[in-house]
């Protein structure tokens, strides 16, 4: 069951969780707090939150594993709030699929603002905002060895094997497909991905492109889909065919 106004908070520091929970509830959201991974995983099986806030260093494991497993496969927007403050830690979190990464200490007001921004972005993706009237119905695309269903956030290879996309990956891929064959700048991606006024982490676009490229190219060194045009930006090279979902062709 999905709950549109529910946030899952995974944080083992009880006092900090209480502060975050109060601020979030005052902003009009419902919050469920968990201290351990196993409790969090169990709850995911019964209710689907609109967003998750997760710590990384937990008593029974590393919260980082959730990004590529439960949360990534379900395309649930996720914000990491962690005491790991290094650049490498932040990059790793984003590469694994986090929509945002905040280093502790975090002001409750900032957390609330970040939550609202991520939820707006997720809502925009669900409503396919920013798409022209002509492309609104285009939800399934074929390119190279892949077919992508944007309605379900699923990539399927030529053998029929499905791969889940996060919301951030789906939004970025949609931009590339809509601009196929044209060089798009990093600034264009920043303005499009963060149109709600969010201040992105400086390398967030590069991290997202890298993550999507690895998924499309199978982790190989051969770049087949998203090419870097040095000094200019990126270009999506394969031909794109939008399928008519009404007729299945």
pLDDT tens for each residue of 73-111: 677 889 999 999 998 888 888 878 888 899 999 999 999
Inter-residue contact 200 to 193 (CB < 8 Å): yes
Pairwise CA distance, residues 166 & 126, whole Å: 12
Question: What's the pTM?
Answer: 0.66
Query: Measuring CA to CA, which residue among 99, 128, 129 is closest to residue 114?
Result: 99
Structural element, H or E, at residue 6: strand 6-10
User: How many C-beta neighbours within 10 Å does residue 247 have?
Assistant: 6
The DSSP 8-state label assigned to residue 133 in this structure reads G
For residue 52, which phi and psi values (nearest 5 degrees)?
-125, 140
Phi-psi region at 98: left, alpha or beta (left = phi > 0; alpha = psi -120 to 50): beta
pLDDT (0 to 100) of residue 249: 46
**Which domains can be identified in the chain, with CATH numbers?**
6-126 (3.40.50.2300), 133-243 (1.10.10.10)
The residue written with tokens 């000094």 in the block is 231
Between helix 204-216 and helix 186-193 the angle, nearest 10°, is 100
pLDDT (0 to 100) of residue 53: 97
pLDDT (0 to 100) of residue 129: 38
Each residue's pLDDT tens digit in the chain (249 positions)? 456 789 999 999 999 999 999 999 999 999 999 999 999 999 999 999 999 999 999 999 999 888 866 676 677 889 999 999 998 888 888 878 888 899 999 999 999 999 988 888 777 655 543 444 444 456 899 998 899 998 888 999 989 999 888 878 888 999 999 999 999 998 888 888 775 555 555 577 888 898 899 889 875 556 689 999 888 899 999 999 998 755 444
pLDDT (0 to 100) of residue 130: 40
Long-range contacts of 155-163, Cβ-Cβ distance < 8 Å, separation of 24 or more: 155/215, 155/216, 163/215
Q: What angle do CA 243, 245, 249 make, to 5 degrees?
A: 50
Q: What is the pLDDT of residues 154-176, one digit of tens each?
A: 999 989 999 888 878 888 999 99
Q: Which two structure tokens, joined as six digits, stand for 4?
A: 């549109």
């Amino acid at each position: 069951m999905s709950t549109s106004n529910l946030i899952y908070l995974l944080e083992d520091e009880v006092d900090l969780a209480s502060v975050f929970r109060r601020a979030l509830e005052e902003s009009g959201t419902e919050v469920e707090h968990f201290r351990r991974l196993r409790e969090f995983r169990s709850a995911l099986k019964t209710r689907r939150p609109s967003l998750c806030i997760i710590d990384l260093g937990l008593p029974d494991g590393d919260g980082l594993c959730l990004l590529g497993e439960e949360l990534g496969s379900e395309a649930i927007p996720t914000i990491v709030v962690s005491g790991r403050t290094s650049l490498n830690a932040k990059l790793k979190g984003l590469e694994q699929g986090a929509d945002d990464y905040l280093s502790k200490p975090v002001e409750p007001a900032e957390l609330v603002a970040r939550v609202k921004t991520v939820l707006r972005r997720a809502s925009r993706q669900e409503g396919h905002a920013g798409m022209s009237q002509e492309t609104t119905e285009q939800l399934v695309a074929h390119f190279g060895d892949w077919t992508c269903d944007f309605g379900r956030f699923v990539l399927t290879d030529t053998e029929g094997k499905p791969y889940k996309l996060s919301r951030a990956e789906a939004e970025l891929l949609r931009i590339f497909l809509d601009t196929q064959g044209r060089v798009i700048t990093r600034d264009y991606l920043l303005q499009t991905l963060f149109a709600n006024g969010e201040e992105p982490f400086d390398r967030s676009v590069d991290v997202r492109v890298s993550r999507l490229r690895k998924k499309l190219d199978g982790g190989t060194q051969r770049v087949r889909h998203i090419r870097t045009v040095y000094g200019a930006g990126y270009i999506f090279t394969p031909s794109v065919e939008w399928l008519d979902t009404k007729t299945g062709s």
